[in-house]
Amino acid sequence: MKKFFLFLACLSLFILASCGDGNGGDPEQISDIPDDWDYSNVVDGDETPDQEIPSDNPDTSESNVPDPTDTGDTQQEDNTPETPDDNETPLPHGCGDGKVDYDERCDSTAPMTCSSLNSNMTGATTCLTDCKAYDMAKCGKKVWGVVNISFKTNYIMNIAKLGDPNYFAQNALPYSAFNGLYGEPTQMFPIFGDGSVSFAVIRNYTNSIGMTQPQLIIKQNPASGYPRHELEFSPGAVKAGGDYSINAVDIFDLINGLLKIVRYRLIENQNGTECIMGIAQTGTVKINSASDNLQEGGSVEIVAKNVDFYYPTEIPGRNYEEDPLSDEVLGYPLCK
């Protein structure tokens, strides 16, 4: 039995030796490859082939799966038009292009001096965003003059008798009812110690239809010099507790006393002739007390605060050349 196993072992060694590589145990060598073999199509393990071999199973590797969080430049742009706000007012065509079109008042963000828009305004403003107007709320009003008035008398004189010095002297009050400032450079009035006197007179006013009514006028400074001040009420009765509105435009006509308006004038003297230097634009005159009948010997007390006035051709918002004030409103020729 031992001889039989020894025989098998020898036979196995013989078979293994006969199946060798014939190269003395060296790796296999291919000797029939030509020396000018073209290696240009050899694929390196790190390169991607020009043509991919189709596969029945799609590639689901990480490099080919799109990233849902990617918001890079490769994302498709949304060209859907925006929906306008229903609450917005459409702007005039071309508003904002810096060019004033036919339906625009202005079209610029540059500041504009208020005085160039209105000579009686100060400060600077800009065009409104709708291009339809300048924002005048940003401007300030250039007040040429301001007056405060406080007057009281127990005796109203008749204007027809003012030529009598004794009559006038007995009823004029030695105090300044008008106090304020005016002009450029600014001048204060009254001047301290100027001897100002104040008085109230009545006269008959006849309107265009021939109606005659008494009219109250309060004056100052006929004896002490100029400037002189006067307050002219619309014709008709003056009632206690009433308010009269300063008005530099309307005339006293037809409805007369129903207007309840009053004019303030600043009077100067140039070359011996009285002329008007200022006329009030806005304000209120309050009637604190008044006699029942507006006549000689009656009484009145009035007060007015912060009444603003201007040179007659420089009233804000009014073009004097196109729409001049009437002779009745002015009462006097213009001072030069």
3-state secondary structure 52-105: CCCCCCCCCCHHHCCCCCCCCCCCCCCCCCCCCCCCCCCCCCCCCCCCCCCCCC
Indicate the residue among 141, 159, 176 that finishes a domain. 141
State the burial class of residue 327 (Cβ atoms within 10 Å of its Cβ: 0-12, 13-18, 19+): exposed
170 occurs within a structural domain? yes
54 CB-side CA count, 13 A:
1
3-state secondary structure of 185: coil
- What distance in Å separates the CA atoms of residue 3 and residue 224, rounded to the nearest whole number? 170
111 and 149 belong to one structural domain:
no
104 and 195 belong to one structural domain:
no
151 and 132 belong to one structural domain:
no
177 and 102 belong to one structural domain:
no
What pLDDT score was predicted for residue 289? 95
- What distance in Å separates the CA atoms of residue 136 and residue 154, rounded to the nearest whole number? 46
- What distance in Å separates the CA atoms of residue 183 and residue 188, rounded to the nearest whole number? 9
Instruction: Give 278's strand partners.
Output: 266
111 and 196 belong to one structural domain:
no
3-state secondary structure of 233: strand
- What distance in Å separates the CA atoms of residue 182 and residue 187, rounded to the nearest whole number? 5
Q: What is the pLDDT along the chain (336 residues), one digit of tens a residue?
A: 555 555 555 555 555 444 444 444 444 444 444 454 444 444 444 444 444 444 444 444 444 444 544 444 444 445 544 444 555 555 667 898 888 887 888 998 899 888 788 766 778 899 999 998 888 888 877 778 999 999 999 999 999 998 898 898 888 888 889 999 998 788 888 877 777 899 999 999 887 778 888 999 999 876 668 899 999 998 888 889 989 998 877 777 655 456 788 999 999 999 999 999 999 988 899 999 999 888 999 999 999 998 999 999 888 777 777 788 889 899 999 998
What pLDDT score was predicted for residue 25? 45
162 and 278 belong to one structural domain:
yes
Sign of torsion over alpha carbons 154, 157, 162, 165 = negative
In the block, residue with structure tokens 């003056």: 238
The domain tally of the chain equals 2
**Cβ-based neighbours of 255, under 8 Å, separated by 6 or more:** none
16 occurs within a structural domain? no
State the burial class of residue 29 (Cβ atoms within 10 Å of its Cβ: 0-12, 13-18, 19+): exposed
154 and 208 belong to one structural domain:
yes
| Domain residue limits at 282 | 145-330
Instruction: Give 310's strand partners.
Output: 279
Indicate the residue among 126, 141, 156 that finishes a domain. 141
List the helix and strand counts (H, then E) for the chain.
4, 16
The pTM assigned to this predicted structure is 0.60
212-224 burial code (b ≥16 CB/10 A, e <16): ebbbbbbbbbbeb
Contact criterion met (CB below 8 Å) for 296 and 157:
yes
209 and 316 belong to one structural domain:
yes
Assigned token pair, 89: 């007012």
18 occurs within a structural domain? no
317 occurs within a structural domain? yes
135 and 155 belong to one structural domain:
no
Indicate the residue among 78, 111, 141 that finishes a domain. 141
247 and 198 belong to one structural domain:
yes
222 and 105 belong to one structural domain:
no
Instruction: Give 321's strand partners.
Output: none
**Cβ-based neighbours of 291, under 8 Å, separated by 6 or more:** 156, 298, 299, 300
What pLDDT score was predicted for residue 299? 95
- What distance in Å separates the CA atoms of residue 201 and residue 159, rounded to the nearest whole number? 5
212 occurs within a structural domain? yes
What pLDDT score was predicted for residue 14? 55
118 occurs within a structural domain? yes
157 and 123 belong to one structural domain:
no
Give how far the C-alpha of residue 122 lies from the chain's centroid of Cα atoms, to the nearest Å: 13
109 occurs within a structural domain? yes
174 occurs within a structural domain? yes
